Amino acid sequence: MTSFTLHGIPVSRGIAIGRAHILSPAALDVQHYLIAADQVESEVARLQSAIATVHTELQTLWSELPKDAPAELGAFIDVHVLILSDPMLSDIPLDIIRTRHYNAEWALATQIEELSAQFSEIEDAYLRERSADIEQVGERVLKVLTGTANLLPNVDVGEGTPAMIVVAHDISPADMLQFRDRAFSGFVTDLGGQNSHTAIVARSLDIPATVGVSHASELIKQNDWLIIDGDAGVIVVAPSTLVLEQYREKQAKQVKDRKKLGKIKKTPSVTIDGTPVTLLANIEFPDDCPQALDGGAHGVGLFRSEFLFMNRTEAQTQLPSEEEQFASYKKAVIAMKGRPVTIRTLDIGADKPIDFMEHTSLNPALGLRAIRFCLAEPQMFLTQLRAILRASAFGPIKLLIPMLAHASEIDQTLALIEQAKKQLRNQKIKFDEEIPVGAMIEIPAAALALPLFIKRLDFLSIGTNDLIQYALAIDRVDHEVAHLYNPLHPAILFLLSHTIATAAKAEVPISVCGEMAGDIKMTRLLLGMGLREFSMHPAQLLSVKNEIINSDLTVIEPATRKILRTYEPKAIVDAMEKLQQI
Ligand code: PEP
Ligand code: MG
């Protein structure tokens, strides 16, 4: 068989090599026939019983969730139970059987198609992707009806047996659970996007995966040899012996590197010349804290609190209450066991809208975003500030304010923090009177007017994602200008080194919490600029630490100074390559 490659969206890193295991084709492809009038009630009963069976299946999955299973998995099963219990799925197909005399499979498939078509029209990407959940739930019921349940075979993969790679049209997060106990080493799906639940679960389970590989489940045949390159989103089908060997080597190296990294978990994060460097984690939810601790984080450098405000269900209030927020912040600070937790106040707007925001500006990235929005909604902001302050009674918390540019914004923010403190004092509620307050430096104007910030605040944190977006005038979510998003642009290097050096001179703590901090190709450059605090996704912590403990500042600093005097892009790239090798 000739080899070919397929391309999709890389959602989970690593290389998987194995034989394809094709999951049964799309279950919506079902038999259609009309039933006789006297069979209607038995057909209704057949569908009801299938739905009840799936209910029991989901409950069993819930109760058998391993203790260390990612928190999302339980939530996904809950979503599926909710969908299954919704009259749209549990009642309407019964009506279709009664009124149109369709067989149970046809009635259910008709309604699933109708519902998922409605969802596909929704503008919100997250909600749109929920149509996949509806199809997955429907598929489960159809499998019971057609007697093809038991999605994955019980394969006993002994020594020397090739690993299995699951290829499916789509796969539900609940079914992904079965990857744990069986020897599946990766998966490929026709459907899916970065935000699909399945992709999120794959990442949290750390299984190489590529989704959105159109027609993969038709083009790949059962037992084909497959390679998934989860970093590139590439699938090689029926690879030649040479290609297979190359990927085996690459995979073996990755496994070896990972093992090696595990060994430095307890190694102090200190450069060769003895300079200590603080490693912090970026988190979205309190439940991310154990992963941060596992990676050896010295604390949380960025808790993106806006995620608590997103994807609110009907049952929840539109905005999280003070109690709900307090519970989350307290949970994070307790989970970090005395290590500092930097909570960033609400950063919504631009690519992170929430339902509560009414209007959309013409240029949302330049509009009422982050602190600008909070200052326009002081009651909402005060609620968040009180919740954070209350949590500060349970462990060290720092307050980080996003998108500040003007002295007046800093002053208004500090006045609101003071107001929140006063309210708590009046209510005799405990909080940390000395809670440090810091600013994200992510607007070029802020980086160029640091004395305004240094005079008023306790610490700074550079948000390189936005600093680059605003300095280079490139929308960070627009794929058409993505090629211009360049952290090594001389203007960016200047803004970074100027900010780090100015803060260091003023003895104000400074960190970087944008993606650059977790990119090992940038570690030495940032160290050379004088950065001593890095905050990143927990999965990056050990790789960055590995760079740090192999870096000697006595040689990196002069090399970095040279890069900062270079303006030609090619010369910068060459010098960066050299920096990796010294
Ligand atoms: C940044 O802008 O670099 C940052 C860390 O914040 P966010 O990515 O949440 O905008
Ligand atoms: Mg930002």
d(CA 168, CA 223): 13
CB of 306 closer than 6 A to ligand 1? Answer: no
Domain segments of the chain: what residues? Answer: 4-24+151-239, 37-146, 263-581
- Count CA atoms closer than 13 A to 534's CA, side-chain side: 32
- Ligand that lies nearest to the alpha carbon of residue 352, given by its number in the listed order: 1
43-58 burial string, b = 16+ CB within 10 Å, else e? bbebbeebbebbbebb
The catalytic position among 21, 197, 489, 537 is 197
Superfamily name and number for 4-24+151-239: Phosphohistidine domain (3.50.30.10)
Question: Which residues face 510 on adjacent strands?
Answer: 460
Measured between alpha carbons, how far is residue 170 from residues 13, 220, 249 in Å?
19, 14, 30
CB of 465 closer than 6 A to ligand 1? Answer: yes
Residues in binding site for phosphoenolpyruvate: 304, 344, 465-466, 476
- Ligand that lies nearest to the alpha carbon of residue 515, given by its number in the listed order: 1
Residue by residue, pLDDT tens for the chain (582 residues) are 789 999 988 777 889 999 998 876 544 457 778 888 899 999 999 999 999 999 988 888 888 777 766 677 788 888 889 999 988 888 999 999 999 888 899 899 889 888 888 887 887 777 777 788 888 888 889 888 877 654 444 444 444 566 889 998 887 765 665 565 556 789 899 887 655 556 666 765 678 999 888 889 889 998 899 999 998 889 999 999 999 999 999 999 988 888 889 999 999 999 999 999 999 999 888 988 998 999 999 999 999 998 888 766 666 778 999 999 999 999 999 999 999 999 999 998 877 677 677 666 778 889 999 999 999 999 999 999 999 999 999 999 999 999 999 999 999 999 999 999 999 999 999 999 999 999 999 999 999 999 999 999 999 999 998 999 999 998 876 656 767 888 999 999 999 999 999 999 999 999 999 889 988 999 999 999 999 999 998 888 999 999 999 999 999 999 999 999 999 999 999 999 999 998
**Catalytic: 197?**
yes
Instruction: State residue 197's pLDDT score.
Output: 54
Tokens describing residue 476 = 């960070």
- The helix-helix angle for 322-335 and 378-391 (nearest 10°) equals 30
**Catalytic: 513?**
yes
Runs of H (alpha helix) within 158-312: 173-176, 197-205, 216-219, 241-263, 289-294
> Separation of 332 CA from ligand 1 center, angstroms?
20
Superfamily name and number for 37-146: PtsI, HPr-binding domain (1.10.274.10)
DSSP 270: B
The catalytic position among 169, 374, 513, 537 is 513
What pTM, to 2 d.p., does this model score?
Answer: 0.67
Instruction: State residue 199's pLDDT score.
Output: 66
Instruction: State residue 27's pLDDT score.
Output: 47
Q: Which of 306, 343, 347 to mutate to test the pocket of ligand 1 (most atoms within 8 A of CB)?
A: 347
CB of 304 closer than 6 A to ligand 1? Answer: yes
Is 23 strand, coil or helix?
coil
Closest residue to atom 4 of ligand 1, CA basis: 463
* Per CATH, domain 263-581 is 3.20.20.60: yes
Closest atom of ligand 1 to 347 CA is: 9
d(CA 563, CA 528): 10
